Amino acid sequence: MSETSAFFERLTVAGQDPRFSKVCGSVRFDIRDDGNVEQWRLDIDHGRMRVTRSDAPATTVIQVSAQVAEAMARGEVNGLAAITRGEIMVDGDLALALRIGRLFPREAGRLQREDPDSGT
């Protein structure tokens, strides 16, 4: 099973997330791999989550390549940066997409470059 599938399977089991107690909406992930599209649909109703393999319309659609989806599932992707550089394409409610992004894990100590130029 891919990391992506494992990630969605875990969400299916979790079922409930208190961080989303005020969130309602639906998000569909369209994951593209060589012409194939794998679709996962996430329905959130006041923190209750339901995960299905479905192509039904959703308020927010997130399109990514299979490669990026795997990286997201591994916690290697900064969602906002990836949206800004066109790697993640969001149609619909971007605020909801960013909230959903918090479901993805995040590696704590990502690689740092040493660079004397700092700050704003």
Partner 1 sequence: MRDIAGTVACIDGNTFMVSDASGDVQSSPSTPVGLFAADTRFLSRWRLTVNGECMTALSVDDSQYFEVTFFAVPGAAVDYVEADVSAIRRRRIGPDLTESLTIFNYGERDMTLDVRLEVAADFADIFEIKFDIGDKSGEHYTHVGPNELRLGYRRATYRREVVVSASEPAEFDPGGLRFAVRLRPGQQWSTRLQAVMLALRPDGVDLRSALRALRPDDSTLPASVQAWVAAAPTLDTESVGLQQVYRRSLVDLAALRFAPLSLGGASVPAAGLPWFMTLFGRDSLLTCLQTLPITPSLTPPTLRILGSLQGTRTDDVLEEDPGRILHELRYGESAAFEEQPHSPYYGTVDASPLFVVLLDEYERWSGDTALVMELEQEARAALAWIDLYADLTSTGYVWYQRRNRATGLDNQCWKDSWDSISYADGRLPGFPRATCETQGYAYDAKIRGARLARTFWGDTAYAERLESEAAALYDRFNRDFWLEDRGFYALALDHDGTPVDSLSSNIGHLLWSGIVPPERAARVVEHLMGPALFSGWGVRTFAEGQRRYNPLGYHNGTVWPFDNSFIAWGLRRYGFGNEAARIAEGILSAATYFEGRLPEAFGGFDRDTTRFPIRYPTAGSPQAWSSGACMLLIRTMLGINPHEDHLAVDPALPSTFGRIALLDIPGRWGKRDAFARQRPDQR
95 binds partner 1 (CB under 8 A): yes
Total residues contacting partner 1 (rule CB under 8 A)? 35
In sequence order, the β-bridge partners of residue 52 are 41
Q: Are strands 36-45 and 48-52 parallel, antiparallel or unpaired?
A: antiparallel
Distance of CA 18 to the CA centre of its chain: 18
Of 12, 39, 52, 78, which one interacts with partner 1 (CB under 8 A)?
78
Q: What is the DSSP letter of 119?
A: -
Chain positions contacting partner 1, by CB under 8 A: 19, 21-22, 63, 78, 80-81, 83-87, 89-95, 98-99, 102, 106-110, 112-115, 117-120
